[in-house]
Structure 1
Amino acid sequence: RWEENSGYSPSTLAVNIAALMCAAGFAADRGDPQTARFFEDYADFLECHVEAWTVTTAGALVPGISRHFIRIHPVAPGDPEPDEDPDHGLLQVRNRPPGEPFEFPAKDVVDAGFLELVRYGIRRFDDPVIADSLRVVDAVLKVNTPLGPCWHRYNHDGYGQRENGGPYEGWGKGRAWPLLTGERGHYELAAGRDARSFIKAIEGFASATGLLPEQVWDESDRPEYFMYLGRPTGSAMPLMWAHAEYIKLLRSARDGAVFDRIPSVAARYLGQGRRACRPLEVWTFNRRVRTMRPGWTLRVQAQAPFRLHWSGNEWRTAQEAPSAGTAAGIDYVDLSVPPDQEAPLRFTFFWTEPGRWEGEDFTVAMDRGPQRH
C-alpha cells in the first residue's frame, strides 16, 4: 500500500477480497449468478491464502513471537512461478541513507496493513495472528507523544526528516504518520473499545490551522529545525488521506461501528456458519502454480475460451473439458482432485476461437506436506 514494492501484502489482499465480494453483489443484482459465483470463488481463493502468503513463521523482531503478518512478500510482477513462501525473500527498502543497508529479510519488515482485514470484515479483531502481529507492530513501530500514540509506516523506512531534523532530500528516516493513529482507532472500535483518545490524538497532531500532516516528529525536540515531538515535520500538509481517515473515524465512533465494514464480506467470513477455507487452487498464465493439495479443486483460468486437455495418470488416459465463460472476460475449468491422488495433473489448452493448440504441457504436482494456515 506504500507504492514502493510489488508482491503480496495483507492490505492489498484485504482490498481485493472486499472488492470481489462487492462485484459479486453487482453481478447478482444484474441477474448473472455465474459471474457472481466466479467473483465469490476468487475472493475465497484469496482469503484462504492470506496467511500462507503473508504470515511468517520465522519472525525474529520480538522474542517469543515468530508468527506474524509481514509488510509485503516481494514477488516480481513478471514472474509466472513465484516463490510464495513468506519466510523467503529479500525486500528492498527505498530512500535509505547512502551507504546504509537497503535489503532486509521480508519476514522481518512489518507494517500494520493487516488491520484492513479486520476493517472490512475478513478477520476477527481477536484472531490470534492479528493479536500477535499487533504486539510486534507496537514493539517496533509505535511512538508515544505528549499528544497521543502514533506509528511509523514500517521498520527501516527512509522517507522522512533526517536524523538531525534536517529536510528529506532523497533520503532520511521515516517518521510517525497520524493517519495510522486513525487506522488503529478503527481497530480499537472493532474490538469494542473507545476510539475517542485516538480522535483527540489526531486533532493534536494538526497544525494551528487544522491541517493534518503526512508525518509528525517522533524524537526529542530540535528547535533549530522547528521539530517538536508530535508536531508536523516538513512533510506534505494537508495529507488528504489523513483527513479522510479522521473523518471516517469520527463517523465510525458516532455509529459505534467501523464505517468501512462491508456487511456481505463480514457475513461470508465472520458469520457463525463460516465454512472452512474453500479448498480451491487457481492456475493462470501469470501464476503457474506448481503444487496443490490432494482433495482440493484446481481452477484453470484464461482470458479466452478453451478446451482443457488433461490427465491425472501420466497421460495413460486423457479427458477434455470445455471452459465456462464469465462477464469478466475470464474462462475457467474446474478439476476436482480426489484426496488419494498421487500422480500430478498434466494439461494443455486448445484455443477454440483460433482453433489451435497451445503447444506446451503444464504440470501441477500433489503436495502432502504441512499446510500453512
Structure 2
Amino acid sequence: MSQNLPPGAPGLAPTWSSSDKDMITTGLGASRVWATLGHGIVNEVYWPSTGRPQIRDLGFIVAHKGGWTEIKRADTYLFSLPESYIPLPSVVHESEHYRLELEILPHPQRDCLLIRYALAGDDARLYVLLAPHLEGARENDAVAGQDLAASHKATALCLRADCGFRRTSAGYVGTSDGWQDFANNSRMTWTYPEAGGGNIALTGELASENGILALGFSETAEGARTLARSSLADSYEECRTAFIDSWQEWAQNLRIPYATPELEEAARRSAMVIKCHEDRTYAGAMVASLSVPWGSSHDDAGGYHLVWTRDTVEAAFALITVGLYEDAGRTLNYLVGTQADDGSWAQNYFPDGRGYWSGKQMDEVALPVMLAAKLRAVGHLTNSPLEEAMVRNAIGFIVRNGPMSDQDRWEENAGASPFTLAMLIVALVTSADYFSAEDRDYLLSLADCWNERIEDWTYSVDGHLCAGLDLEGYYIRLGPRPSEGGIDSIISRRNVLHGETPAGDLIGLEFLYLVRTGLRAADDPRIAGTVRLIDAKLRAELPTGIAYYRYNGDGYGEHEDGAPFDGIGIGRPWPLLAGERGHYAALSGDDPLPYLDSMQRMTGKGGLIPEQVWDGEAIAKRGLVPGEPSGSAMPLVWAHGELLKLLATHATGQPAELFDLIAKRYGGKRPSAATWHWRETSPFDSIASGRNISIEANRDFALRFGFDGWQDVGEREAVANSFGVHRIVFTASELADHKVLNFTFRSNTGEWRGKDFSIAID
C-alpha cells in the first residue's frame, strides 16, 4: 500500500441505502446487473444475482457558483421512464445554479451499468461519489487512479469515465471520503491513491460535463476493468436501442385485463417490476424486493433481497394472470431446485439456494404445489418427473407435519392461521390425482377434516372485540397450537415490548383467503361479520386512499417519532392488504376499484408500491408524509403481484387462487368430513356420531383402547401409509354404541405412555 494513506481507517460502520426507491432496473440479455435508484441517484447495485448487493450508492456532487451540492440531499429532481414497462430511468436534477441530466442503462450483454450524464451551469463541475460495499463486507480495498476500483476477495468493481477523471481519491467513510473533503474544504483537495481494510469511498472529478460512466463487476480487478472499458467502447445508442427493444418484445406478451388507462399503466409497471426481480444466474428465482428495509440505518446481510417461497409464488400467480406462463414456469422449476430433501423449503434463502433464516412455514410448502396446479390448469405444465416428484414430496411433508405451522405468514408465531390452512387444503385437493386411489382418498379425507375444523382453530365466539359490533364471533389472526392452549391462550407479539396478548384479541386479514380459495362463501355470516370487524379496527383512511394494518397491535414499522424500525416499533398500513380487502369486495358484489386506485396512489415517484405507508403526522426531516411510502421495503414484489391479481379478479370474477376442483368439492361451504384425523399436534376431545376416527402419528405405535370409561379394552398396532403416517382407524359402526373412546399409546420401544386420552362421541 502507498505511504500516502487517507486517515480514519476503518471508517464508520457501513449501512445500506434507504429503501425509498424511485425505480429498479435490469436488462433482459446476458448481463447480470440489477440497479436501484433512490433520491435521484443509483443506490444498491446487485451482481451477479439479485441476492448480492455490491455498492451502497453512486451519487454526485456539483460544484457551482453558489458553492457545492450533493444532489441526493437536495432532493429537487424529476423522474421519468420512456414507458411504464421500460425500466430506463431518466433523472433531471435542477437548481438555480445547475442542471444535471442522468440516464441509467444496464448494459444488455455485459456485467456493467452505464450512466449517461450531462451537466449545465456556469462554472459547474461534476464529481462522482462511489461507496462500495462488496459482498456486504465491512473491509473493502480501493484504488483511485485512472479508474475508480474496489475489491473484496473474489469480487471487484471498476468505475470508468469515457472522458476520464481530472483527479481521483480513495478514503474512509466519515473521515476522508469525498463528501468530507467538500464539507471541510468546499472543494476537492484530497487525492489519496489507495485505501484498504475498511468502509471505503471513492471520489472522482469528471474531465467533461457530458459523458458516460461504466460500472463493471467481475471476480477480478482486471475483469471489472475490462468490462468497464469494453462497455464504453460499445455504442451507447446501440446498447440503449437493444435494451428498449428487449423490453418492448417482452411486453408484447402481456395480457392486461381491461382497465382504466391509469390502472393499465400501473399494471404494466407492476409486471415489469416483477420481471426485474427475476434472477438470471438462477433463472426463475425472485427475491422479495431489491431493497433493505430501513437500509440506511443498519447493515443487514439479508434485507429483502432473499427468496421467500410465499412471495415468489404470489408473484408467479400474478404473472399467470397477465399471460406470462413461461416466466411462471421458470419459477416453478427453480423451486424444484431449492426444495429440501424432506419436501419443504427454507423460510427464506439466497437465489443460489443457501438458507438464511431457519423457520418452517407450512404455507411455503403448499404454495409451490398450488403453482404447479395453476400451471396445469392453464395448460402450461410439462408434468416432468421432477415436477411431479416435487409435488409428491411437498404433499408428504404437509401430510406429516400439518396443519399447524411453526410460523404464520408474518413469520412471527406458531399455530393455525386461516391463510396457511387455506393453502394446505387447496394443495391437498389439487394434487390428489398425482397419487394412487388409496392415497388420493386419504389426502381428500385429510383436506375435508382440516377444512371442517378451521373454525375450531381460528374462530373466536367469546372474544373481547365483539363488543359494540353485534357480532357472534370472528376469525382471529392465529390460533396457537393446542398443546400451547389453542384459541384461548396467549400470543407474544414479537415486535413490541411486553407483547403478550390473548390470541382472541388479535385479528388480521388472513381469513379473507378462505373466500378467495373457495372454502367459504363471501356471504357466510362469520366471514361477513369479521369483515365488518377488520374495517372497524384495521382500516386506515389516508390522503392517498385505503390501506390496512397487518393486525391490531403490530410493531413492525417506524417508531412514533419516525425513527427506523429496530426490532420494535409501530406497525403501519400496507397497500398489499388493500388488495386483499379489494378481492373480498369483488367476490361479495362490491366495487374493488377504490382499493385498486388506492394501491396505485400509495407509490413512490416512480410508481413503485411500498411495503408500508406512513400514517402519522408529516415529519419532513425524515421524509415521511401521510399516505406515502415509509422506510419499509420498496418495491414489494408481492404488492405488485396483488395489484395484478386484483385487476384480473375485477375483470373475471375469479381469483387466481381459486380452482375448479375446490369450487366443486366445497362450494364455499364448511364440509362434514367422514373421518376426523386425531394427532397430538391437532387433537380433538369430541366428535359427532357417525364419523370415523383416525388416530395418527409419524412413528410406529400401538394403541390400548376402551370405551365409556375403559370398558371392552383392546390393543391394536398402527399401520403406516405411503406418506409415513402410522394410523389406527375406528369406524363409525364400531363407535356407534359408545359415548367415549378411551386410549393411550405404546411406543415402538414397548413402553406405555402413562397418559390417557379420550374423545367424546356426541
TM over 0.5: yes
How does the TM-score come out when normalised to structure 2? 0.43
Residue 478 of structure 2 corresponds to residue 72 of structure 1: yes
Matches within 5 A, 1:132-211: 132-211=529-608
Indicate the residue corresponding to 1:365 in structure 2.
758
Larger Rg: 2
Deviation at 1:115, TM superposition (A): 0.3
- Deviation for aligned residue 1:346: 2.2
Indicate the percent of aligned positions where both proteins have the same amino acid.
32
Q: What is the one-letter code of the residue matched to 2:495?
A: N
Contact residue 281 and residue 297 of structure 1 kept, 8 A: yes
> Which residue matches 1:93?
493
Q: CA deviation at 1:175?
A: 0.4
Measure how far apart 1:137 and its partner are.
Answer: 0.6
Alpha-carbon displacement from aligned partner over 1:228-277 (angstroms, at most 9, x marks no partner): 12100011111111112112222222323212112111211117xx6852
1:189–1:258 Cα contact (<8 Å) kept: no
Report the AA paired with residue 329 of structure 1. Answer: G
Find the aligned partners of 1:203 and 1:275 in 2 and give their Cα distance. 35
Provide closer, same or farther for how the CA distance between residues 102 and 43 of structure 1 changes in structure 2, counting only shifts above 3 A. Answer: same
CA distance in 1, matches of 2:635, 2:427: 28
Q: Single out whichever of 250-259 and 236-245 deviates more from structure 2.
A: 250-259
Conserved? CA contact 2:445–2:674, under 8 Å: no
Unaligned runs of 5+ in 1: none
Q: 1: distance between equivalents of 2:683 and 2:656?
A: 37
Task: Report what 1:244 is aligned to.
Answer: 641
Cα displacement string for residues 172-209 of structure 1 (whole angstroms, at most 9, x for unaligned residues): 11000010011111111212333222222111111111
* 1:123 to partner: Cα distance: 0.3
Q: Tell me what 1:26 maps to.
A: 434
Higher mean C-alpha displacement, 275-284 vs 2-11: 275-284
Given that 2:703 and 2:743 are in contact with CA atoms closer than 8 Å, whether structure 1 keeps it comes out as no
User: 1:118–1:187: 8 Å Cα contact kept in structure 2?
Assistant: yes
Partner deviation per Cα, 1:48-88 (whole Å, 9 max, x = no partner): 1111111111122241324001111223xxx7x4533x2x1
CA distance in 1, matches of 2:490, 2:717: 40
Residues 343 and 58 of structure 1, relative CA distance in 2, 3 Å threshold: closer
1:282 is the counterpart of 2:688: no
In the other structure, the counterpart of 2:419 is: 11
Q: Secondary structure at the match of 2:610?
A: coil
Q: Deviations along 1:311-342, whole A, 9 cap, x unmatched? A: 3362535264662623x222323202434413
**8 Å CA contact 2:696, 2:726 repeated in 1:** yes
Structure 2 SS opposite 1:7: coil
**Cα gap change, 1:142/1:72 in structure 2, threshold over 3 Å: closer, same or farther?**
same
CA distance in 2, matches of 1:366, 1:117: 28
Is the contact made by 2:707 and 2:740 (CA closer than 8 Å) also made in structure 1?
yes
In 2 relative to 1, CA 36–148 (structure 1 residues): closer, same or farther, beyond 3 Å? same
Q: Which residue of 2 aligns with 1:36?
A: 440
- 1:296 CA displacement: 2.8
User: Whole-Å Cα distance in 2 between the matches of residues 189 and 111 of structure 1?
Assistant: 19
Q: 1:261/1:294 Cα in 2 relative to 1: closer, same or farther (>3 Å)?
A: same
1:109 CA displacement: 0.8
Q: For residues 336-351 of structure 1, what are the structure 2 equivalents within 5 Å?
A: 336-337=731-732, 338-348=735-745
Residues 1:59 and 2:463 are matched in the alignment: yes
Aligned residue for 1:194, secondary structure, equals: coil
Is 1:302 aligned to 2:708, yes or no? no
Structure 1 residues 101-110 or 186-195, which shifts more? 186-195
Picking from 451, 465, 468, the partner of 1:47 is 451
Q: Displacement of 1:349 after TM fit?
A: 5.2
Q: Give the corresponding residue for 2:508.
A: 111
| Bigger share in strand | 2
1:311 matched residue in structure 2: 706
The one of 722, 728, 737 equivalent to 1:333 is 728
| Deviating 4+ runs (over 6 angstroms) | none
Q: Deviations over 1:282-330 (max 9, x none)?
A: 223544555544443210223356665543362535264662623x222
Query: Are the equivalent residues in 1 in contact too, given 2:512–2:584 (CA < 8 A)?
Result: yes
The answer as to whether partners of 2:744 and 2:752 remain within 8 angstroms in 1 is no
Distance (whole Å) between structure 2 residues aligned to residue 17 and residue 144 of structure 1: 34
Could you say if the C-alpha distance between residues 145 and 285 of structure 1 is closer, same or farther in structure 2, counting changes exceeding 3 Å? closer
Code of the residue aligned with 1:94 in structure 2: it is R
Match of 1:83 in 2: 485
Note if contact 1:92-1:104 (Cα within 8 Å) is conserved in structure 2: yes
Letter in 2 for 1:117: L
In 2, Cα distance between the equivalents of 1:111 and 1:343? 37
Shift of 1:23: 2.3
Task: Give the direction of change, closer, same or farther, for the CA distance of 1:260–1:17 in structure 2 (3 Å limit).
Answer: same
Secondary structure of the structure 1 residue equivalent to 2:464: coil
Aligned runs of 1:220-259 on 2, under 5 Å? 220-259=617-656
Deviates more, 1:106-115 or 1:190-199: 190-199
Is the alpha carbon distance of 1:230 and 1:286 closer, same or farther for their aligned partners in structure 2, counting shifts above 3 Å?
Answer: same
For 2:645 and 2:746, the matched residues in 1 are separated by 48
Q: Is contact 1:307-1:323 (8 Å) kept?
A: no
Cα distance change on mapping 1:38 and 1:174 into 2, 3 Å: same
Contact 1:324 1:333 in 2 (8 A): no
Write out per-residue CA displacement over residues 118-177 of structure 1, whole angstroms, 9 at most, x where no aligned residue. 111100011101111111111111001232211000011111111122322222110000
Tell me the alpha carbon deviations over residues 4-46 of structure 1, each in whole angstroms, 9 at most, x when there is no partner. 011111111111111111221322xxxx111111111111111
Which deviates more, 163-172 or 278-287? 278-287
Separation of aligned partners in 2, 1:82 and 1:266: 34
Q: Look up the SS of the partner of 1:250 in the other structure.
A: helix
Give the AA of the match of 1:7. G
Given the alignment, which residue of 236, 244, 265 partners 2:662?
A: 265
Other structure's SS at 1:344 match: strand
Q: 1:344 to 1:331 in 2, by over 3 A?
A: closer
Amino acid at match of 1:72: L
The alignment covers a number of residue pairs equal to 349
Matched residue of 1:300: which SS?
strand
- Unaligned runs of 5+ residues in structure 2 are 1-408
Alignment check: 8 A CA contact 1:325 1:331 kept: yes
Q: Please state how far the C-alpha of 1:347 moved relative to its aligned partner.
A: 4.9
CA contact (8 A) 2:747 2:753 kept: no
Q: Secondary structure at the match of 1:51?
A: helix
Change (3 A) 1:58 1:316: closer
Q: Secondary structure at 2:663's aligned position in 1? A: helix
Query: Which structure carries more relative contact order (alpha carbon 8 Å, separation 6+)?
Result: 1
Distance 2:420 2:615 in 1: 27
**Alpha carbons of structure 1 residues 317 and 224: separation in structure 2 relative to 1, 3 Å:** closer
Of 499, 517, 522, which aligns to 1:125? 522
SS at match of 1:281: strand
